[in-house]
Structure 1
Amino acid sequence: MEATAATPGGGGTRITVGAQGLQFDTNRIELSAGAPSTIHFENNDPGIQHNIAIFTDSSLGTNLFRGEIVTGPAAVDYRIPPLEPGTYYFHCDVHPTMSGSVVVKAAGGGGPPPTATPATGGGGGGGGGTANPSTVTAQGLAFSTTEIALPPDAPSTIHFENKDAGVSHDIAIYTDSSLGTNLFRGQIITGPASIDYSIPPLKPGTYYFHCDVHPTMDGSVTVG
């Protein structure tokens, strides 16, 4: 099956992709080149988290878009940045075996291989931050600490090590455990792997963190 783009007024395309039974309802997404597009994503798996992330290819070397993870049943509109004509790869970060291809077509079809510039949707990576980062490890479906201390009003770095082989984890920071306001969402990585998360400046106070993939892995962030 394939999800073919419908062209709304004002350019770009809009398609619908569903997830149910731990699989997408399509393994091929078609978008138009050179304009923003919208993927209306419907997660129909109750209590299970899914998203759509787009990469240049299945090596996952360059991420072009990462959609917010949603817990089913729920729906979200993903705003995809303009992509060059070519064939790309998409999957669910939480369940990487849910995957397929994204075909971006120029007017009249065809086009050169992809040369898109990476643009992420959510997800934090390296660069910047403090000289002495905090280190947090995930192993055995548990974090190595339930308390993270960060400096106030300045960028900081969390060095995150996922030691759970074949399991995906991240660190996301919220104002509190209600998850009402997200302050930072780190890129999901599949272990064994590590990454430096660049945390934006936070005001003094106590916040909440957890793994988006395994929300029972959680703790507090003390700033100040």
Structure 2
Amino acid sequence: MSRFIGFCIFLAVILYGWQALSGTYEAAYNQKVVLSAYSVLGNGTDEEVLSGIGLTDSKYEKAQLVTVIETLSPSLSVLSAGERRTVALALGETDLRYHLKLNTGNYVPTTFDFSTNLLYNVSYLANTPSKLLHNIKMDFALAKEMSDSGPIGRGIGFGVKVIFVIWDILHAVTGAAAALIMLVFGSLIGLLFHPINSVINFFPMLWNVCVTIWHAIRYIFNLF
């Protein structure tokens, strides 16, 4: 286990170092991950997702929540116990990137209580296969769209596709390792910061865990 964790830390250093040196590629990749959140939740075509058609449907609420967190950076410190569970499920089920800190400035382990930290990490682990497949599918869709602009576009699109697929795999592996670790440590941190909400959220969290495991299976079929 210690070798696996060490290997994942090594991969994380490669991933985030590579992204930090990539500038606009990292920004484009983050936007792609958010777009893929819509793909996870719906069975519309990739062209519809890329062009934003029909993304106001209520089934996309989790993806819209991730978009708001990523773009508008609202403070999460004022959320109720139930709202924090909603955020945990939105991130765990649709966002391939594992979050210790959000664009809002909030640290996940200290923002969520014990039960919500547990929910986020279980949801992330269960939904990783679905999110990885949807993100890779989106990589190919982006490359196809770029290839329509001619030979140069095809070359750039191929390079972007290769880089993004590698990043997707690295995010999935390192994210799963982080979720395994934070399943324990993140939950304990949440208990220290939010002892009352940890109790309030415990039994609702048990139901949410069952639901998110079902979603992990169901969302895979949105690929087709």
Identify, as 1 or 2, the structure richer in strand: 1
- Point out which structure has higher relative CO (alpha carbons under 8 A, 6+ apart): 2
Q: TM-score, normalised by structure 2?
A: 0.25
Q: TM-score, normalised by structure 1?
A: 0.25
